[in-house]
């Protein structure tokens, strides 16, 4: 197999591969920066919890409208937003911290979602909803994915400054007469939007992988917020392209192929990136600068 056959041919020949590629590009651009903020705010597991929490909404959308992407997307977003608001409120008015409330709601949502889908849809639909299939992305799905991803990116720009302030000095905004809570909720809404956007291509369980793995790997390459975000986007896109190609050539399910590619990039970064194990621990051992 020539390089052309491996890298270009699948996209040149098949429209579904081109659509999948476009979906991956949209998701990388939206999820990369958001993942960095989740990481830096020590909320790496929050995306995971939130992705589970979307499930009952998706399931209800499925119950009402059958296998209709807009219905399931709207359902998922409403469920995600509901859980964000509930967890935030619970953190404020009870002794539970936000992560504990999230954990509780996630478990309830997950069980509820699986219950709803399996009573009506059967196992095939359940698998599809949980793990998605990027190769089944049609024009409508691509449009929905790209639109939500763009909106979430705009929302992130909108809250960028307060989000950075709140991440460095939690409580600063509240002390300065603005509610830190409001920005946190808007940020979690952004996360929910990205997860919903990724849900058709990746499935509810895998969508969070394209958000967190590249972000975590980026930590080994960059030090400033902007460069972390840029690295995260590039790594996410790389995982998308190679994951799709692996999935195409070796007949693997696309979602796991993309996430595993991201996982391999993460392991590689951890070892060989500028801030990774080899270069920061082994090679530079005993060498230091003069000033």
Partner 1 sequence: MNSAIACRNLTLGYDRHPAVHHLSGSFALGSLTAITGPNGAGKSTLLKGILGLLPPLGGTIKIADSLQGTISYLPQQTDLEADFPISVWDAVTMGHWRRVGAWRSLGRESHLQTQEALRRVGLQGFERRSVGSLSGGQRQRVLFARLLVEDAALILLDEPFAAIDQRTVNDLLAIVQAWHAQGRTVLAVLHDLEQIRHHFPQCLYLVRHALAWGETDKVLTPELVAHGRVMSESWDESAPYCFVESS
225 binds partner 1 (CB under 8 A): yes
Answer whether 53's CB lies under 8 Å from 105's CB.
Answer: yes
Residue with tokens 């400033």: 224
5 binds partner 1 (CB under 8 A): no
How many C-beta atoms surround the C-beta of residue 274 within 10 A? 12
**What ranges in 159-253 are assigned the alpha helix state H?**
160-168, 172-175, 180-218, 225-249
Alpha-carbon distance 59 to 115, whole Å?
9
Structure tokens at 80: 């995600």
Determine the interface stretch with partner 1 among 112-120, 153-161, 194-202, 235-243 (rule: CB under 8 A).
153-161
Alpha-carbon distance 268 to 114, whole Å?
35
Nearer to partner 1, 140 or 174 (CB): 174
Minimum distance, C-beta of residue 257 to partner 1, in the bound complex (Å): 32
Determine the interface stretch with partner 1 among 175-183, 187-195, 201-209, 270-278 (rule: CB under 8 A).
175-183
67 binds partner 1 (CB under 8 A): no
Of residues 63, 112, 126, 165, which one binds partner 1 by CB under 8 A? Answer: 165
Of residues 32, 33, 35, 162, which one binds partner 1 by CB under 8 A? Answer: 162
Minimum distance, C-beta of residue 168 to partner 1, in the bound complex (Å): 5
274 binds partner 1 (CB under 8 A): no
Alpha-carbon distance 41 to 98, whole Å?
13
Question: How many of the chain's residues bind partner 1 (CB under 8 A)?
Answer: 25
Minimum distance, C-beta of residue 136 to partner 1, in the bound complex (Å): 39
Alpha-carbon distance 218 to 232, whole Å?
5
133 binds partner 1 (CB under 8 A): no
Structure tokens at 251: 């007949």
DSSP symbol at 136: G
Identify the CA nearest to 195 among candidates 14, 67, 70, 73: 73
93 binds partner 1 (CB under 8 A): no
DSSP symbol at 289: -
Nearer to partner 1, 85 or 164 (CB): 164
164 binds partner 1 (CB under 8 A): yes
Taken in order 215, 79, 111, 65, is the CA torsion positive or negative?
A: negative
> What is the total residue count of the chain?
291
Nearer to partner 1, 133 or 178 (CB): 178
Of residues 4, 177, 251, 290, which one binds partner 1 by CB under 8 A? Answer: 177
Structure tokens at 269: 């970064």
Nearer to partner 1, 212 or 228 (CB): 228
76 binds partner 1 (CB under 8 A): no
Nearer to partner 1, 175 or 289 (CB): 175
List of residues contacting partner 1 (CB under 8 A): 40-42, 158-159, 161-162, 164-165, 167-178, 223-225, 228
């Amino acid at each position: 197999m020539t390089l052309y056959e491996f890298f270009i041919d699948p996209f040149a020949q098949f429209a579904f591969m081109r659509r999948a590629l476009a979906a991956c590009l949209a998701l990388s651009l939206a999820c990369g920066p958001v993942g960095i903020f989740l990481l830096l705010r020590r909320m790496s597991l929050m995306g995971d919890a939130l992705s589970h929490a979307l499930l009952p909404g998706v399931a209800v959308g499925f119950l009402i409208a059958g296998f209709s992407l807009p219905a399931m997307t709207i359902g998922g977003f409403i469920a995600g937003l509901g859980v964000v608001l509930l967890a935030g409120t619970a953190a404020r008015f009870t002794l539970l911290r936000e992560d504990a409330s999230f954990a509780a709601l996630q478990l309830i949502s997950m069980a509820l979602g699986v219950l709803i889908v399996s009573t009506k849809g059967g196992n095939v639909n359940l698998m599809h909803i949980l793990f998605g299939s990027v190769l089944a992305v049609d024009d409508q799905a691509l449009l929905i994915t790209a639109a939500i991803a763009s909106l979430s990116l705009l929302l992130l720009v909108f809250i960028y400054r307060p989000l950075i302030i709140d991440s460095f000095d939690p409580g600063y905004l509240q002390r300065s007469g603005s509610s830190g809570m409001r920005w946190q909720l808007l940020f979690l809404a952004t996360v929910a939007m990205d997860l919903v956007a990724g849900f058709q291509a990746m499935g509810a369980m895998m969508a969070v992988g394209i958000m967190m793995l590249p972000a975590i790997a980026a930590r080994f390459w960059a030090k400033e917020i902007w460069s972390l975000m840029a690295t995260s986007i590039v790594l996410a896109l790389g995982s998308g392209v190679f994951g799709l190609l692996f999935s195409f050539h070796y007949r693997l399910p696309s979602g796991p192929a993309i996430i595993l590619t991201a996982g391999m990039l993460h392991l590689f970064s951890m070892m060989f990136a500028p801030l990774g194990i080899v270069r920061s621990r082994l090679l530079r051992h005993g060498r230091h600068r003069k000033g």
